[in-house]
Amino acid sequence: MKQLKLESEIKIADHVGELNEQDSQLLAAAKEAAKGAYAPYSHFKVGAAVLLQNGVTVIGSNQENAAYPVTICGERNAIFSASAQYPDTPILAVAITIISKNKDISRPVPPCGSCRQVIYETEARHQQDVRIILQGDTGEIYLINSVKDIFPLLFDSSYL
Ligand SMILES: [Zn+2]
């Protein structure tokens, strides 16, 4: 029997000081965006900031609802908003971070499966990898060159 081994590459910064100016600013924008989250049920505020090829930054945050399934994640909120405002402009990077009221999260919080699927669709749409920058409330920062590194065996339009 054959075996398929999948590899991922994630760079890890111990603190914001190790980031370049652009990544540092994008992460700061995401942290600020988290303050705008509407999370009365989970108390888990997610902030995201998307950097577009034209230099514009678009933010998003999670927006919850008493009907839980209609909740939208912060990163999808930012990406869909960016896509609605600048449909032809590739997205270069997305920073995602959180403010948790339940407990301090000192490790990066990865995007959920739905958001990974959306980030991949964004990459495919514009033929442009989207760098992902992740941090929790505090702690180390993950730098990922493409969602493909954290979303192997993904589903895409080639199956349709
Ligand atoms: Zn999500």
Domain ranges of the chain: 11-150
Ligand 1 mean position, distance from CA 1 (Å): 35
Question: pTM for this one?
Answer: 0.96
Edge-first strand order for the sheet with 131-134 is 11-13, 141-144, 131-134, 91-100, 44-52, 57-61
Give the three-state DSSP class for 14: coil
Let me know if 140 is a catalytic residue. Answer: no
Q: Which residues surround ligand 1, an ion (CB under 5 A)?
A: 73, 112, 115
Q: How far apart are CA 140 and CA 43, in angstroms?
A: 22
Q: How far apart are CA 59 and CA 51, in angstroms?
A: 9
Ligand 1 mean position, distance from CA 37 (Å): 13
Ligand 1 mean position, distance from CA 118 (Å): 9
Mean pLDDT of 133-140: 97
Ligand 1 mean position, distance from CA 16 (Å): 23
pLDDT tens figures, 89-115: 999 999 999 999 989 999 999 999 999
pLDDT value of residue 133: 98
Q: How far apart are CA 15 and CA 85, in angstroms?
A: 32
Catalytic-labelled residue, pool 32, 75, 123, 140: 75
pLDDT tens figures, 21-67: 999 999 999 999 999 999 999 999 999 999 999 999 999 999 999 99
Q: Choose which CATH entry (3.40.140.10, 3.40.190.10, 3.30.565.10, 3.30.70.1060) describes domain 11-150.
A: 3.40.140.10
Assess contact for 94 and 133: CB atoms under 8 A. Answer: yes
